[in-house]
Amino acid sequence: MRTRMTSRSRLILTGAAMVAAVGLLAGCTGSDGDSENVVDQGTSAEENAAEGDTVTIGFSGPAADHGWLGAINSGALAAAESYSDVDLQVAEGTNDVTAQIAAVETFINDGVDAIVLLPSDGAALTEVAIKAMEAGIPVINVDREFSSPFAARTTVLGDNYGMGVSAGTYICEQLEGQSDAVVAEIAGIDSLPLTQDRSAGFADALSDCGLEVGPRVAADFTVQGGESATSQLLSANPQIDAIWNHDDDQGIGVLAAITAAGRDEFFMVGGAGSRNAMEAIQAGDTPLQATVIYPSTQAADGIALARLIAQGKTAGDLITPSVPNRIVLDAPVVTADNVDSYIDLAFNS
């Protein structure tokens, strides 16, 4: 029988866990240097991989209306299938907040062991996520954050600010010494915090090397939007040295507009890490020279963590015997030199 967990009881348990962890560490700091005094690391990687009690995990995400979200969903399914002790219950993808809330409530009523949730709107799904947590069901929040720390046991995020920093740093390296270089930016949807974070990181990285963002347009993460915004950008700016396009899905339209305009005096950096972009980087026959990863494996990671938490296991390679509360994934730059290391994880636009 699942015990209802209130916000107060969660805080008490967290405090108790911290005390226990301190005790563990204190027990291994003897001054005699005895090698037998080691930290208990919880479950090992081998124990985590071994089949355990079957756990039921509910998964809900938005409608797969572009390549990245399609990869998010297929990654979650593939991760669950890789574990013989996971029973995955999948709600139909939807951008309707009310429908997604209803899906989570169904998971709660069905008594699943954990929920992996990529909310269509983080703030709007916060209340029902808290309801699940208070019912004793750990929630793993993916990509779009809830508005309360009590809504999730663990949060898995891509690094939007870091994407901008990675793109800006790469462009700085390529334009070293060109203080008058014209650097353009093709953003996604400007009203979204993720776009704002990406743009902030980009501006900060350029500033560090004495450059600044020049002409800037915003698209909408679609092929059509990317093509239209890029056509406007190119028409208004006869000379550009580098472009950062935030999203490889809209990047198909961006490259189409560049081809139509016959422009090739600049190089371009993409964002997210689609297979289309990586193949263009391999071919070397377009201005696209690099892309910055925004992992489409976040839901797959969420499934793996939900399994560990539901089975009472820990992150085996960490000293602290627990599963982290917050995980922010890396935003590496993919170029012709390292594309072979990333292309197998790429998604199709």
| String of DSSP letters for 104-155 | HHHHHHHT-SEEEE--SSHHHHHHHHHHHHHTT--EEEESS--SSGGG-SEE
Residue 82 scores a pLDDT above 70? yes
Number of domains in the chain: 2
Domain identity same for 134 and 201: no
Residue 90 domain flag: yes
Length of the chain: 349
Taken in order 122, 126, 128, 129, the sign of the CA dihedral is positive
Domain identity same for 151 and 60: yes
Percent of the chain scored above 70 by pLDDT? 88
Domain identity same for 78 and 194: no
> For the residues 91-96, what does the mean pLDDT come to?
93
Domain identity same for 193 and 286: yes
Residue 73 domain flag: yes
Domain identity same for 151 and 170: no
Residue 32 domain flag: no
Residue 26 scores a pLDDT above 70? no
Distances 163 to 111, 180, 292 between C-alpha atoms, Å? 38, 24, 6
Residue 10 scores a pLDDT above 60? no
Residue 21 domain flag: no
Domain identity same for 279 and 304: no
Residue 217 to residue 224: CA distance in whole angstroms: 14
> For the residues 122-151, what does the mean pLDDT come to?
96
Task: Report the C-alpha dihedral over residues 255, 261, 266, 270, rounded to 10 degrees.
Answer: -20
pLDDT band of 37, cuts 50, 70, 90: very low
> Can you tell me whether residue 283 is helix, strand or coil?
helix
Residue 186 domain flag: yes
Residues 6+ apart with CB under 8 A from 118: 60, 61, 62, 72, 142, 143, 144, 298, 299, 302
Residue 35 scores a pLDDT above 90? no
Residue 13 domain flag: no
* CATH number, position 185: 3.40.50.2300
**Residue 334 host element (H or E):** strand 333-334
Domain identity same for 60 and 123: yes
Taken in order 218, 213, 248, 59, the sign of the CA dihedral is negative
pLDDT for the residue 27: 42
Domain identity same for 202 and 139: no
pLDDT for the residue 208: 96
Reported as a single tens digit per residue, the pLDDT across 286-309 is 999 999 999 999 999 999 999 999
Residue 11 domain flag: no
Domain identity same for 72 and 195: no
Q: Tell me, what DSSP letter sits at residue 274?
A: B
> Can you tell me whether residue 183 is helix, strand or coil?
strand
Residue 18 domain flag: no
Domain identity same for 129 and 187: no
**Tokens representing 323?**
């599963």
The label of the residue with tokens 């698209």 reads 219
Average pLDDT, the chain: 89
* pTM score of the predicted model: 0.81
Domain identity same for 340 and 217: yes
**Tokens representing 91?**
């709600």
Which residues form the domain of 309?
41-157+297-318
Domain identity same for 84 and 131: yes
